[in-house]
């Protein structure tokens, strides 16, 4: 059962939660969605709102779901779920049914725009976000050569900025 967590009492280290532990990005509808593991992202304040910023390569199957959806969820999991997250990051939803293979149990939470967003019963913390802006990275915008090493094959990221509608903790 999820309960709302006011942002003022949120206790998490975004650097380890995002960069080390990883999380699932999920977009789509309860009938048709995809999830992917990510370990790049940011959290902060922009345009006077709390935001989550995602970086998703155009080649990822989840990219199309993010483009077609009004929002997304970012779901964090307890350490014992690490193997399932790694599996979801190494396999495409185009080729595999991630839910049936991993045993993750989808659950649906209300969207502020109507409808529902998808997360998973096993998630310990969920950010439900409304898409506020998207932009495509351009390699000529990189000021440091070391960044270009991440894009030797092209396939640059799209940046998705989401307003945080609510934060849910699994009790």
pLDDT digit string, tens, across residues 39-69: 999 999 999 999 999 999 999 999 999 999 9
Average pLDDT score over residue span 118-140:
96
Query: Residue 137: pLDDT above 90?
Result: yes
What total number of domains does the chain contain? 1
The alpha carbon of 132 is separated from its chain's Cα centroid by a whole number of angstroms, namely 14
* Domain of residue 69, CATH code: 2.30.110.10
**Long-range CB contact pairs, 97-104, < 8 A, 24+:** 98/34, 98/35, 104/35
Interval 70-80 mean pLDDT: 96
Model confidence, pTM: 0.94
pLDDT at 125 over 90: yes
Looking at residue 122, its pLDDT comes to 96
Assign 31 a pLDDT band (cuts: 50, 70, 90): very high
Mean pLDDT of the chain: 94
Host domain of residue 79? 2-170
Give the mean pLDDT of 135-152.
Answer: 91
- What's the pLDDT score for residue 149? 87
**Which residue matches tokens 């059962």?**
1
**pLDDT value, residue 153:** 84
pLDDT of residue 146: 93
pLDDT class for 108, splitting at 50, 70, 90?
very high
CB 23 within 8 A of CB 76: yes
What mean pLDDT is predicted for residues 144-169?
93
Q: Are 165 and 129 in contact (CB under 8 A)?
A: yes
**pLDDT reading at 148 higher than 80:** yes
- Which pLDDT does position 86 carry in this prediction? 93
């Amino acid at each position: 059962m999820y309960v709302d967590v006011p942002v003022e009492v949120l206790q998490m280290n975004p650097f380890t939660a995002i960069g080390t532990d990883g999380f699932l990005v999920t977009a789509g509808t309860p009938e048709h969605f995809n999830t992917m593991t990510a370990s790049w992202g940011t959290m902060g304040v922009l345009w006077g709102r709390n935001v989550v910023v995602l970086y998703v390569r155009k080649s990822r199957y989840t990219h199309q779901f993010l483009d077609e959806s009004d929002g997304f969820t970012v779901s964090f999991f307890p350490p014992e779920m690490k193997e399932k997250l790694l599996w979801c990051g190494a396999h495409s939803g185009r080729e595999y049914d991630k839910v049936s293979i991993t045993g993750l149990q989808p659950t649906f939470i209300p969207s502020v725009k109507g409808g529902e967003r998808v997360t998973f019963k096993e998630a310990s913390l969920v950010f439900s976000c409304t898409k506020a802006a998207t932009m495509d990275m351009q390699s000529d915008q990189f000021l440091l050569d070391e960044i270009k090493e991440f894009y030797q094959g092209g396939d640059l990221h799209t940046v998705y900025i989401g307003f945080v509608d609510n934060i849910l903790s699994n009790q």
